[in-house]
Amino acid sequence: MKLDTLTLQKKDAKHHIHPFSDYKYQAKPSLTRMISRAEGVYIYDNDGNKIIDGMSGLWCVNMGYGNQSVVNAVAEQMQELTYYNTFFGTSHPPVVKLSEMIAEVTPEGMNQVFFTGSGSEANDTMIRLVRHYWSAKGQPSKSIVISRKNAYHGSTMAGASLGGMSAMHAQGGLPIPGIVHIDQPYHYEACVEAGEAIDRAEFGRQAAQALEVKIDELGEDNVAAFIAEPIQGAGGVIIPPETYWPEVDRICRERNILLVADEVICGFGRTGEWFGSDYFNIKPDLMPFAKGVTSGYLPLGGLVVSDEIMAVIRDAAGEFEHGFTYSAHPSCAAAAIANIELMHQSDIVNKVKNVAGPYLAEKWHSLSEHPLVGEARSLGMLGAIELIKDKENFVRHKNAGEVAGICRDHCFNNGLVMRAVGSKMIIAPPLVCTNSEIDEILEKVWKSLEMTVSSIK
């Protein structure tokens, strides 16, 4: 029997602990959004309202909802081998196929994959593996991982520690030892701090050089790796200046520091290349991934490791003492295989690069004409707008977070999911969005911005 919305909301409030939620808000059950169905790029709430999903769920439903080929592949796999593990020298056909398919699309020299259930677990795996690697090479002092403020790398103890979210660190004594943070390459924020436009290329170089300064301060012999998202997602779709990544790449090579590109959001087509690393033309040593690998149909993540690192790990004494019950779960692997097949068949990566991405960019950049928008930036199927009070002098609203929250609520009421992050509004729509679906998103953004102007008067 289908329960009515208020009954569901009340039961939900009584027994379900939500992630990243203010429980005072949940105390008003009627405010909880109950999503019951989804198809293509649309979600439907329990009362049948149709909402265009500008966030691909949580940046993951890249190929859209309800693809029958993925559903069928999972059902067939579940009939054949519902579950088995890959510990202690065991394997199974779906993981063999999936590993090969991933190796085919990753950058050159990256052909080995360790599977996890999520992006957080992929990043935990990364820390354990790089420390094991340097120990095996006879340099156990190389153990510190450098990350960035306002980065997001997950919610486990290590994931949240790698992340640079101060609110997360404030709960539970994070970061754990051995992780340090440098500034992010957030150009617009630097303009806000300066109260004027500052040179983007020069800012990018300086932001990268902060890594060099930190390595020298800590001592090269103590630093294992640098981790960064090619484009910061949860931090607010922060697209680094063109000068940033080449400089970071150079610094890591010169100082013998492993480069970890967290591809959990940027991977699997989001930038119009298979990986964000391809877009920025960098050569990472390790790439954590998740989300888009299955388009979120089932949970799966992993860590792509360079052949060079794996050669050392394979020769090391003893085992790599690490793994999860659900590493390479066959049913999840089947979802990933079918999803990647769909990506190839539809040529989606090229479509993002040549059709959807450029179309979104053209429409999105016109938002900068709105009086409330200080900057409108996009890359591939990622976009952000900076809400601003005084454009010319880069002055934000005193209650910027509240203003963005008002805008987010207007978006939702107008039938669009868009996220508010601090003073920013962000989107990451499914890669399969058509031009007319992009038009619909934009029309709703404009309308919601107008309504926000009225609300804050």
Residues that bind ligand PXG (CB under 6 A): 58, 118-120, 123, 152-154, 159, 229, 233-234, 262, 264-265, 290, 301
Q: Which is nearer to ligand PXG, 136 or 261 (CB)?
A: 261
Quote the CA–CA distance of 19 and 52 in Å, as a whole number. Answer: 22
Please enumerate in sequence order all residues whose Cβ is within 8 A of that of 299, keeping only pairs 6 or more positions apart, or say none: 117, 118, 290, 326, 332
Q: Which is nearer to ligand PXG, 276 or 389 (CB)?
A: 276
Are 155 and 137 a contacting pair, CB within 8 Å?
A: no
Find the shortest distance in angstroms from Cβ 121 to ligand PXG.
7
Pick 214 or 419: Cβ nearer ligand PXG: 419
Tokens coding 339: 């999803």
Cβ of residue 122: shortest distance to ligand PXG, in angstroms? 7
Contact 150, 188 (CB under 8 A): no
Walk across the sheet containing 373-379 and list its strands.
Answer: 373-379, 382-387, 424-427, 419-421
Give whichever of 187 and 270 is closer to ligand PXG, judged by the CB atom. Answer: 270
Q: How far is the CB of 18 from ligand PXG (least distance, A)?
A: 12
Q: Minimum distance between the CB of residue 154 and ligand PXG, rounded to whole angstroms?
A: 4
Shortest Å, Cβ 391 to ligand PXG: 26
Q: What is the closest distance, in whole angstroms, from the C-beta atom of residue 265 to ligand PXG in the complex? A: 5
- Rank residues 62 and 123 by Cβ distance to ligand PXG and give the closer one: 123
What's the closest the beta carbon of residue 428 comes to ligand PXG, in angstroms?
Answer: 9
Give just the sign of the alpha carbon dihedral 99, 101, 103, 106: negative
390, 411 contact by CB (below 8 A) = no
- Give whichever of 153 and 389 is closer to ligand PXG, judged by the CB atom: 153
**Cβ nearer to ligand PXG, comparing 136 with 234:** 234
The three-point CA angle 442-445-446 to 5° equals 90
Using CB atoms, what's the residue nearest to ligand PXG? Answer: 119
Alpha carbon distances (Å) from 55 to 212, 343, 353, 428 = 35, 19, 19, 5
In angstroms, rounded to a whole number, what is the distance separating the alpha carbons of residues 207 and 199?
A: 12
Element spanning 426, H or E: strand 424-427
